[in-house]
Amino acid sequence: MNIIVCIKQVPDSTQVKVDPKTGTLIRAGVPSILNPYDHFALEKALEIKAKTGAKVTVLSMGPAQATAVLRLALALGADEGVLLSDRAFAGSDTWATSYALATAVKKIGQYDLILCGQMAIDGDTAQTGPGIAFHLGIPQITFCESIDANGSQVVVKKLIEGGHQILEADLPVLVTMTMPHDYVAKYPSFMAAHKAQDKATYTWTAADIGADPHKLGLEGSPTRVDRIFPPPARQKGEMFSGSAVELADKFVEILKKESVIK
Ligand SMILES: Cc1cc2nc3c(=O)[nH]c(=O)nc-3n(C[C@H](O)[C@H](O)[C@H](O)COP(=O)(O)OP(=O)(O)OC[C@H]3O[C@@H](n4cnc5c(N)ncnc54)[C@H](O)[C@@H]3O)c2cc1C
């Protein structure tokens, strides 16, 4: 069984800010991490590997420094890493990104299960996983909190409003994973990281995967981002105390003052 986990390097969201003048993210000096949803998806893939002997390949698209998340994944137990890195990919929106990742999956060739995070904590769109499934023409199940697989099927717990569904699907399938609220990511030991240095990583360009250059970068991206801005800070609330009648009177007085009622 062959599992491909799509992993993205993201800025640590607790430290990133938006430049109010340019509307762009201030990434300078902000440490990068493995997207937490992808970390969880990778751990699930490694659990399936431990049970079935599956091969786990991690796939990422990003600049050269994204190799760091591949190395982390290999130290955690993945078998091979592939980085898509090329100027041709720059400026890709989720449509072009999912095309590039799906084209790389086709080049990897053998895949039964593709795991993605539910979303990346910087882009936050949750579109890339479904986009990859579309480009590959395979079924998808999104927003899953747990997964089990044998050589021919997966069984997942998919969260829905007010509950969950247990779903079975034949392979090949793409599943996006969300994390339980109490999830704590595992990190490799120094020895595991050292041993993983011999594992193979490949860096592929757009030409290496045979991607159509018109479907990549800004040219291949139908989305246009007009503006990114932090939401305006909320005004401090005012607290009132008194009896129910006093509070109701106060409420009516404020509504009149704000011309909500006459
Ligand atoms: C118009 C436009 C222009 C953009 N230009 C740039 C740009 O110039 N430079 C830039 O860095 N970004 C750019 N982006 C952002 C880029 O599109 C997103 O980073 C990317 O498409 C992933 O989307 P997301 O972050 O919303 O991921 P989501 O869809 O929320 O991610 C879901 C899952 O998909 C997988 N995934 C997502 N991205 C990757 C990846 N790169 N590699 C492997 N797996 C992945 C992961 O498993 C992840 O958990 C641009 C976006 C838009 C809309």
pLDDT value for 22: 66
Choosing from 82, 99, 128 the residue with most ligand 1 atoms within 8 A of its CB, the one to mutate for a pocket test is: 128
pLDDT tens-digit readout, 43-69: 999 999 999 999 999 999 999 999 999
Average pLDDT over residues 212-234: 88
pLDDT tens-digit readout, 135-187: 999 999 999 999 999 889 999 999 999 999 999 999 999 999 999 999 999 99
pLDDT tens-digit readout, 126-141: 999 999 999 999 999 9
Choosing from 32, 94, 225 the residue with most ligand 1 atoms within 8 A of its CB, the one to mutate for a pocket test is: 94
pTM of the full predicted structure? 0.87
For ligand 1, the distance from its centroid to the CA atom of residue 135, given in whole angstroms, is 16
Task: Tell me which residues have their CB closer than 6 angstroms to ligand 1.
Answer: 6-8, 35, 37-38, 59-62, 90-94, 97, 101, 116-117, 119-120, 122-129, 221, 223-225
Q: What are phi and psi of 157, to 5 degrees?
A: -105, 110
pLDDT tens-digit readout, 224-248: 888 777 778 888 888 899 999 999 9
Q: Which fold has domain 2-215?
A: Rossmann fold (3.40.50)
DSSP 260: S
CA angle 205, 117, 115 (to 5 degrees): 70
For ligand 1, the distance from its centroid to the CA atom of residue 146, given in whole angstroms, is 24
Asked if residue 201 has pLDDT above 90, the reply is: yes
Q: Which residues pair with 60 in a beta bridge?
A: 83
pLDDT value for 166: 98
Mean pLDDT over all residues of the chain?
Answer: 93
pLDDT value for 76: 97
CA angle 153, 154, 156 (to 5 degrees): 155
Asked if residue 24 has pLDDT above 70, the reply is: no
In ligand 1, the atom with minimum distance to the C-alpha of 62 is 41
pLDDT value for 17: 75
DSSP 30: P
Q: Which residue has the higher pLDDT, 15 or 203?
A: 203
Cis peptide before 172 (omega within 30 of 0): yes
For ligand 1, the distance from its centroid to the CA atom of residue 8, given in whole angstroms, is 8
Nearest-CA residue for atom 43 of ligand 1:
60
For ligand 1, the distance from its centroid to the CA atom of residue 49, given in whole angstroms, is 27
